[in-house]
A = this chain, B = another copy of it.
Amino acid sequence: MAVRKLKIAAAGLGRMGKRHAMHFLNRTPRAELVAAFTPDETEFQWARLNLEPHGVKLFSDYDAMLEQTEGLQAVVIATVTTVHAEEALKAMAKNLHVLCEKPLSTSVEITRKVVEAAQAKPHLKVMCGFSRRFDASYRDAYEKMDAGVIGRPTIIRSQTCDKHDPSGFFVDYAAFSGGCFVDMSVHDIDLALWFFGEDRLVKSVSAAGVVAVAPGLKQHQDYDNAVGIVEFHNGKVAYFFCSRMMAHGQEDTTEVIGTEGKLVVNGNPQANLVNTYTTTGINREIPPHYYGRFEHAFVSEANEFTAACLDGTKLPLKITGALRAVQIGSYLQEAVRTGKKLNFDETERRVEKATL
């Protein structure tokens, strides 16, 4: 019996694109990376050295890749955010499974289109890559909650905090990132939906932000530190902190607080298991970037997406969740930009006054 492998193509070979390509090339036994696309010349040269020798066909045109790659079954999309949706739609039109880096789009409307397209083709596996869903620690926490260890989950605190990058890269990036809540907290929002239940409706949203280290963000109406509260109907509250100002490294921490206990994920960030004792005390280092924290989650993501495509099994997260996360991220973004608290009725329709 020959082993069936998923023929997949990689779109986009930037920082995260390269990683996805390498994961599917080397760390996803049931997948075969057959093609890769990038419009960028430097990335293309990288692919010549690192992908082509392994039999990966290279393209500088996305459509050409879809059309000319024989037996292609799936695409992993990690191009710039602005083309995610278009590329996902084209892939679905060709009946290809899609694993798309988050977000599908920073626009709720565009995201909705992708989600609807996916829903129209239920035989396709279409997933937006919320990597934390594949992280062993988050999964362990979820299972413990699900087993009743903390009673009824009631409050979630979750933060996405990046190491400060003084190069100013993220200032330019803010022009099209959708803003800090859409770009960063979207992960925390997705976690809240996961732990509270995906059908949870929003009752109110408020937020506050500051520009402390990157004045250039002001021109994009963005913030380098922001705090937001999302109140759900039926007595649940999630609150979020996102920051690009951490001196020490990446610090993504989540607390799920229930009526009978609390689960904390990554309350004590660490790069590895080493502690250094010197005259200044005891020191431990922290991963500088999200990949240092979530590398294995990304690999699990690739493998589970592959298994779902090959075996027709269920994905661990629904594509509708991607829409909800961006939607709530947009609420937070509006709240922080306008300084207003947003209120919603029990069907999550906007209302002027708070409903108590």
Contacts and interface: CB of A to CB of B under 8 A. Distances in A.
Interface of A: 1-3, 25-27, 29, 53-54, 136-137, 140-141, 144, 149-152, 154-155, 157, 204, 206-213, 225, 227-229, 231, 235-237, 239, 241, 243, 245-249, 251, 257, 259-286, 337-341, 343, 353-356
Given A237-B210, A261-B247, A269-B282, A343 B354 contact: no
Closest 10 pairs between A and B when the two form their complex, measured CB to CB: A339-B354, A206-B206, A341-B341, A262-B277, A137-B273, A26-B29, A208-B231, A261-B278, A281-B285, A248-B277
A3 to B, nearest CB: 5
A245 B259 contact: yes
Q: Taking the full assembly, how many copies of this chain does it contain?
A: 4
B283 A281 contact: yes
A291 to B, nearest CB: 14
A276 B259 contact: no
A260 B247 contact: yes
Contacts of A53: 1-3
B236 A263 contact: no
A356 B270 CA distance: 38
Chain A interface, >50% SS class: mixed
Given A155-B243, A207-B229, A229-B227, A140 B272 contact: yes
24 contacts: A3-B54, A25-B29, A26-B29, A149-B276, A150-B276, A151-B247, A154-B225, A204-B208, A208-B229, A208-B231, A208-B237, A239-B239, A243-B257, A245-B259, A248-B262, A248-B279, A261-B276, A262-B276, A267-B268, A269-B282, A280-B285, A281-B283, A282-B286, A340-B354
Contacts of A140: 271-272, 274
A263 B237 contact: no
B210 A235 contact: yes
Contacts of A54: 3
A266 B274 CA distance: 6
Given A144-B276, A245-B257, A248-B281, A154 B210 contact: yes
Given A248-B277, A280-B283, 11 more contacts: A2-B53, A3-B54, A26-B29, A149-B278, A213-B259, A245-B257, A261-B277, A269-B282, A277-B286, A338-B354, A339-B356
